[in-house]
């Protein structure tokens, strides 16, 4: 059994009593100092943690602001891309219409040109046929007249007139 349960232990002249009181005072002082030191360390750690939390909150706010800015930029870029796409589609439609109109105009011009060339070729062919017919007729007329005049034995001036007739008909 421990000594502090005995009555002579609590006597003020007992050295064990004073050792116990000294030990209690020592532990009390150590406890008081340790508690202040531990409380100071805990408070310091709490301040450090609070600073870290404040920094994290600030960084989060900055990140959210940056995210909002990036989202706004993305929305603006998407809007601009949609506008550009609409403009490109409108330009493509307009260019297609213009190309169609130009093609139709070109087809009409080429058809008219082809018709003029055909008419010109027909006129030229008709002129060539007429010229060939006139020449053939003049040759036949010359031969007929030469045959008749050979039979009639006319003078030389008639022969020259007949030869000149062929040249005039051409």
Q: Are 144 and 116 in contact (CB under 8 A)?
A: no
Give the number of other CB atoms < 10 A from CB of residue 162: 19
**Per-residue pLDDT reduced to its tens digit, 20-70:** 889 999 999 999 898 889 888 999 999 999 999 999 999 999 999 999 999
Q: Indicate the pTM of the whole model.
A: 0.41
**CA 163 to chain centroid:** 83
The rounded percent of the chain whose pLDDT value lies above 90 is 56
* Torsion angle (degrees, nearest 10) of CA 7, 10, 11, 15: 120
Query: What span, in angstroms and rounded, lies between the C-alpha atoms of 48 and 54?
Result: 10
Q: Are 104 and 131 in contact (CB under 8 A)?
A: no
Q: Which residues contact 134 (CB under 8 A, 6 or more apart)?
A: 169, 170
pLDDT given for residue 1 in this prediction: 45
- Crossing angle for the helix pair 156-169 and 15-152, to the nearest 10 degrees: 160
Q: Are 166 and 138 in contact (CB under 8 A)?
A: yes
Residue 145 has pLDDT above 80, yes or no: no
Residue 4 has pLDDT above 70, yes or no: no
Query: What span, in angstroms and rounded, lies between the C-alpha atoms of 26 and 19?
Result: 10
**Per-residue pLDDT reduced to its tens digit, 88-105:** 999 999 999 999 999 999
């Amino acid at each position: 059994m421990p000594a502090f349960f005995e009555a002579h232990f609590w006597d003020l002249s007992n050295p064990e009593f004073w050792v116990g009181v000294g030990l209690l005072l020592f532990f009390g002082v150590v406890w008081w100092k340790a508690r202040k030191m531990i409380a100071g360390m805990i408070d310091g750690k709490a301040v450090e943690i609070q600073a870290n939390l404040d920094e994290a909150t600030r960084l989060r706010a900055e990140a959210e602001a940056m995210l909002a800015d990036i989202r706004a930029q993305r929305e603006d870029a998407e809007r601009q891309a949609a506008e550009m796409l609409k403009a490109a589609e409108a330009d493509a439609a307009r260019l297609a219409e213009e190309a169609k109109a130009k093609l139709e105009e070109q087809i009409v011009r080429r058809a008219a040109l082809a018709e003029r060339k055909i008419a010109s070729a027909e006129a030229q062919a008709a002129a060539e046929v007429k010229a060939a017919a006139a020449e053939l007729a003049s040759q036949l007329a010359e031969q007929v007249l030469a045959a008749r005049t050979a039979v009639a034995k006319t003078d030389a001036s008639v022969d020259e007139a007949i030869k000149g007739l062929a040249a005039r008909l051409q």
